[in-house]
Structure 1
Amino acid sequence: MTDLLFPAPPVHTIPVEGESAAFPIHRIFCVGRNYAAHAAEMGNTPDYEAPFYFTKSPAHAIGSGASIPYPLETSDYHHEMELAILIGVPAFRIAQEEALSVVYGYCCALDMTRRDLQGASKDKRRPWDTGKDFEASAIFAQARKAEAFGTVVDQRIYLEVNGEMRQDASFAELIHSVPAVIADLSKYYHLNAGDVIMTGTPAGVGAVVAGDILRGGVEGLAPIELRLSAPD
């Protein structure tokens, strides 16, 4: 074994219903603008041709129930409630008809966003990294195995902030379905066990502040919760 100059970072994981072993996160892919109403509220025209993606570092993943400080260098911190797909076996250039066979499970997720930094990057035609890929920006709840959850069709997805409903939609509103996303992404990457795909957020995203409590859910999955504390 190669000696390391300092301890290797820990493997970030997602707990799985009914399992003592956790799902180790390999990579996190995110689908942008996958609900027409959300694309419109962001000032964009919905794109039905093909999905597009950005990534988050697994090091920035945390579990549901955490309390985190309001993040650095932003004054417009937004919630985005999502469904996450957990990949269980390798997939490369897989057909849509076979795509569900590589799904290990699903879980609720939050794609937290520094919207002002994302907007500044868009204006300058720069990558979104500072707006999307930062500490504690990917939150995951307990996963449920695919066979227990069933097929993603028209289940409800929602998010409340301090008990007030912010996002409330159905997977019937997805522009690109779960099989379509997996098949398309597998053209660009050799998907592998441990990969996570966040499928996009419905309309109703908005700012949150220190002291807020976020609670969201997907019909048939364990709910997700996040608490915000004062900035460090």
Structure 2
Amino acid sequence: MKLTWTGPMAPLLVPDTDTLHLDLDDRPVCGQDLLFLQQWYKLSRTDLCYLLGLTDMKWCYYTNPQHVQEPLGDPAVSLLVWVLAHYPETVFLPSFPTAAEVYPLYERLAEQGAQRSHGRGRDRLYLGRTAFSLLLGREIGSASRWLSETQPATIAPTVARLLFVLKTLLQNHGVAGLDAWVEQAQLEAQARGLALHDKMTSWFRGDGERKVANPRPPVQRPPGTRKKSKKETPKATPKETPDAADNPTQATG
């Protein structure tokens, strides 16, 4: 697969070490400095752990109230925090786009795709915020909350990454990239027993399910009759039980 360079990623907000009171020239890096960086960069714990190469267990240890005043156990992490605090141009996390930054590009390409596929019933799948939400794996009301001009909703980390790659895909491949995205979304919907159409409202509820006929209709009984009770099946002996050998409580002789 050919990779295309799309230019430098937008840097995150430069931290002010004086504001953060990161006097790291006079003391070693401690666990509290990780929390300061997380707050200043407005990163999730997952993102900061990725930035610092930390496991979740290490993060919990370093930021535990009993250890936040202690120097970090790994000097490599300490040096990394120091560099990121003093030389913010070294930060290598991308600045993820907002939904408002991606939606106009999506909408323009969706309209172009609808014109090309006119008469084939594909335009309704592309246009509008409803499809935008579904194509990002969320329910139809999500886009309206993301695109709110007064108080846009917070975007989940996975969706933020999805917006990042969707923007890159649309910039590099245009309508063809959007078509490929929609086809994959349709495949994912079908695998879940759903149909990606204008009546689908969520990936996680049954309103997008395809109607499947009952393969075995209910048995019709004459009025006044009762269903026969099943005969009790005799309990299996230890030798007859398939998983008896895997049962640690089973006595062996």
TM bucket normalised to smaller: under 0.3
Taking structure 2 as the reference length, the TM-score comes to: 0.18
Q: Structure with the greater relative contact order (CA < 8 A, sep ≥ 6): 1 or 2? A: 1
Taking structure 1 as the reference length, the TM-score comes to: 0.19
Q: Which has the larger radius of gyration?
A: 2
Report the structure, 1 or 2, having the larger strand content. 1
